[in-house]
Amino acid sequence: MALIPPTNGGETISRNDHIIYSATGTIGNKKVQGAVGIRVVAVNENEFIVNVLPKSVPFMNKARLTFPWDGKELADLGGIIAGWSVLHDGERIGREAITTPFGEREVEHYMRIQQLENGTLKSDQFVEPVHHLPYGVRLSGKSGDLLFGIVETSLAWVKG
């Protein structure tokens, strides 16, 4: 079941909306049990600005980021948790169903494999089919495995 969100004036997000992802897994010999909050600071016709608020995720820092905005596309949020956007990188693998706190959702699965100095990093993104909002990310490599999954949001169209 693909979700097509209601829009008001074409916007799917607005100021003060938020998304929270859990972050679990291992990096080296460190166990990760954290979270990443993303809060929308501003939305206008050309861009949206978010605050990124990680907690107990070793390689992430607080940041304020600005992304282009066409009233629809949220794929750039994948850059926060996966390091890349499905619009510009990765290979589309296909559609599959995943379980979220909001029920089962049909998502598009994208994958990217990078050869880095310290080994190969495989990353998968699972995104909502219409706006490409990331529901989950899996990072796997020599230094460990990390999973980000959406756990909370103020976006009614994501909750269904």
Domain annotation covers residue 144: yes
Question: How many domains are there within the chain?
Answer: 1
Residues in Cβ contact with 156 at an 8 Å cutoff, skipping those fewer than 6 apart: 5, 6
What CATH number corresponds to the domain at position 70? 2.40.360.20
Domain annotation covers residue 74: yes
Instruction: Give the range of the structural domain holding residue 133, as residue numbers without chain letter.
Output: 18-153
159, 153 contact by CB (below 8 A) = yes
| pLDDT tens readout for residues 65-120 | 999 999 899 999 999 999 999 999 999 999 999 999 999 999 999 999 999 887 88
CA distance readout (Å), 135 to 26, 28, 150, 158: 20, 25, 5, 9
Domain annotation covers residue 52: yes
Domain annotation covers residue 5: no
| pLDDT tens readout for residues 26-55 | 998 899 999 999 999 999 989 999 999 999
